[in-house]
Amino acid sequence: MSQAPYSIQPTVKQLLASDALAEAQVLFGDQLLNAPVSQVISTVGPGPRPGSLVVTRNDSLSAPEVTALSQLSALVLVKGTPDFVQSNVSAAAAGAAGLTASGAEVEAARLASLNDAGVKRLIKRCSEAKVPLILVPSYGDPAQVIEDVRFVFLRELKLSAARLSSIMLSIVLEEGLDGLIETVSAWLNRPLVVENADFKVLASRNMGVTPANQQKHLTDEGVTSLRAYKKSMGQLSPGISPLSEVNLDVHMSPIKLGRRLVFPVPLSEVIVGYVSVMIRPQDDLAALSEYMHPLALACKVDFSHRLKDSPSFSVTQKTLLKDLLSGRPLSAADQERLDRHFGFDLCDGFFVFAVDATYPDEPPSANAVAGAVIPPLVTYPDEGFISCEAEGMRAFVVPYNAKTTAPWGELAQAVVDKIKELNPGVNVRLGSARLIDTALDLPDAYGEARQALVIGSMIHEGGDFQLGYQELGVKRLLYLIIDHPEVDRFLLENLSPLESYDEEWESELVDSLRVYLQHGANLNSAARGLFIHRHTLRYRLEQIADILKVDIDSQEVLLNLQVTFLIRDMKTGLKKR
């Protein structure tokens, strides 16, 4: 990472200036004391975190520890004061050196340690690894010295983090999210992106929106992380005011998605957005998080301002609506807040639409990130509509009034027209649920709307459509068993012989049969639709009956063939999805 205005991690020199290390002596590495300290530990170990400061009483190192020594910011050796110090250093010698009595003891300890075989070995090892070696005399319990150094480190780390948070807050208030993300991206030399809870990009630097196939996983992980965050908040200070939570050392856990490290942004007990940074395999994620947590806090302030300034940016209510549609239980207070905000308690019922919109055959945007390309984003209407992101699609809830509300088709067309107005050239696919009576039925209604959207996408092959759940008929049942092996056998038995015959003799039996069934098995009507004579069609039907070994005039046979074509269309659409 490139250097920020200052390192959030305190340096070895800063720690040496503290009371805990006031009597420390640098045995080696006076010129190496500006190294940042990432953590304070008591043993080197085989693989310490880069930048670790080791405070130990042990003056011997194992072979793996010697190998790992170069990863340290410094090695601090705690040695008990020898009993012979006063006898080895006379008062005259102390006065000649300009030392106080206490200073004389420290100097004597240093001189005595320099003659110690173990210390000599450590000096050699540290000089080879270019790591400072610091001696701290202990007049009491050496373990207390270790704890004192750790306390000083944590205090300095908190002060640095507070200064960094202050800088980021100033930037976001003066320059907005764009200025903040540009600045921090330059500090870290990493791509960054800020998205709201609906995965709309609010600010980015060389990084695009969370991929659609990862959005549901991120949403679920964010909810889990939020629960842990709330639990930690409650344990730290039960009943704490939400306004004071910024002063606490409790952060939401980041979520790793491939090469993204994502930091959820909580506000009013919901996730209102995400801050993502691109990571590399060799990254120290803990060190990176020390910058990202203040960044997420600064973004939280911006989200709060957006919520106050824009009625349409009702993040809390949209998140509650998403939870309700997905079947997550809501508390009585949240349900009341949702009803009051959207006016659900004033309706006679609801329609739920599941909508998917994409650009047909449009080249992706030139905004490339790490070799990837980003498709154009679709903007969904907020004003005048109740909607939220759900499972990679958009869910619309339309209140129904028995006296004034139009049929569902007209309501659906109004939604589609607005989306097309905001996104010229976009294809819009819409599935509608049946009318429901209460908000408690919204999860089931969303399931119906989603099923209508999926089945419609299978049989309409990506084009525009508006399909109601009540119109699906037998397709609802076929959808439930579409992947069953028996369905493939049914399709093979009823249609494959005709397809093989058409391929061999270049005939049109399959298309003729389809049109015949679409016209309700009416010979004259189907012949006109095929632009052939009725006798020609009759001859083809006799061929079909002979090839399939069926009675083409049987109602049961005609039903089987209709179902066969439905299965064929659904499977074809499924392959193209």
Structure tokens at 61: 């190192």
Whole-number Å distance between alpha carbons of 500 and 516:
19
DSSP 508: -
Report residue 539: phi and psi, to 5°: -65, -40
Q: What is the chain's Cα-based Rg?
A: 36
pLDDT of residue 456: 86
**Cα separation of 162 and 413, whole Å?**
52
Structure tokens, 435: 């009318």
Structure tokens at 212: 């659609």
Residue 105, SS3? helix
Phi and psi (nearest 5°) for 20?
A: -65, -30
Q: Name the class of domain 480-576.
A: mainly alpha
Domain spanning 12-151, CATH class: alpha beta
Strands 365-369 vs 255-257: parallel, antiparallel or unpaired: unpaired
The two three-digit tokens of residue 424, written as one number:
């010229």
Return d(Cα 52, Cα 252) in angstroms, integer.
24
Which class is 190-309 in CATH? Answer: alpha beta
Backbone angles phi, psi at 467, to 5 degrees: -130, 125
User: Could you tell me the two tokens for 348?
Assistant: 């006679």
Cross-strand bridge partners of residue 75 = 54, 133
| Rounded Cα gap, residues 228 and 410, in angstroms | 44
Q: Which residues pair with 386 in a beta bridge?
A: 397
- The first and second tokens of residue 537, run together, are 């069609």
Q: How far apart are CA 562 and CA 571, in angstroms?
A: 14
Taking phi first (over 0 means left), then psi (-120 to 50 degrees means alpha), and beta for anything else, what does residue 268 get?
left
Distance, in Å, from the CA atom of 472 to the CA atom of 9, rounded to the nearest integer, reads: 62
- 397 beta partners: 352, 386
The whole-angstrom separation of Cα 416 and Cα 412 is: 6
Helix (H, G, I), strand (E, B) or coil at 349: strand
Nearest partner of 73 among 284, 223, 250, 334, judged by Cα: 284
User: Is residue 361 helix, strand or coil?
Assistant: coil
In this structure, what is the dihedral angle of CA atoms 508, 514, 520, 525, given to the nearest 10 degrees? -40
Give the pLDDT score at 101: 43
Tokens, residue 428: 């819009």
SS3 state of residue 504: helix
* pLDDT digit string (tens) for the chain, length 577 residues: 444 444 677 888 888 888 888 888 898 888 999 888 888 888 887 778 888 889 888 888 888 888 888 889 999 988 875 543 333 333 333 343 444 444 555 455 555 555 678 888 888 889 999 999 998 887 667 778 888 888 888 888 888 878 888 888 888 888 888 989 998 888 888 899 999 888 888 899 999 999 988 888 888 888 888 877 777 766 655 444 443 333 344 578 899 998 999 999 887 667 888 999 999 888 878 878 888 888 998 998 888 776 655 444 456 778 888 888 888 888 887 887 788 778 787 788 899 999 999 887 654 444 444 444 455 678 888 777 888 888 778 999 998 887 766 788 899 999 999 999 999 889 999 999 999 988 889 999 999 999 999 888 887 766 789 999 988 888 878 777 777 888 888 888 888 888 898 888 888 898 999 899 889 889 999 999 889 998 999 999 999 989 989 898 889 988 888 888 888 877 776 555 5
> For residue 518, which amino acid is it?
Q
Closest CA to 225 of 259, 265, 193: 265
Residue 452: the pLDDT is 92
CB 164 within 8 A of CB 289: no
SS3 content of the chain, % helix, strand, coil (to 5): 55, 15, 30
Structure tokens at 548: 């399939």
pLDDT value at residue 575: 52
Strand partners, 351: 398
Q: CB burial class (10 A; 0-12, 13-18, 19+) of residue 52?
A: buried
pTM over the 0.85 mark: no
Stretch (H or E) spanning 132: none
Give the start-to-end residue ranges of the domains of the chain. 12-151, 190-309, 330-472, 480-576
Cβ–Cβ under 8 Å, residues 158 and 56: no
For residue 566, the model assigns a pLDDT of 83
Give kind and range of the element (H or E) at residue 374: strand 372-374
Place of tokens 């250093």: 89
Residue 564 has a pLDDT of: 87
The Cβ of residue 572 has, within 10 Å, a number of other Cβ atoms equal to: 12
Q: Which residue has the tokens 């046979």?
A: 557
Contact 363, 318 (CB under 8 A): no
The encoded tokens of residue 485 equal: 């092996």
Phi–psi pair at 127, nearest 5 degrees: -70, -35
Residue 21: the pLDDT is 83
Alpha-carbon gap, residue 80 to 426, rounded angstroms: 76
**Token pair of 137, please?**
């005399």
Rounded distance between C-alpha atoms, residue 125 and residue 129, angstroms:
6
Pick from 171, 209, 191: nearest CA to 377: 209
- Quick check: 273 and 196 in contact, CB under 8 A? yes
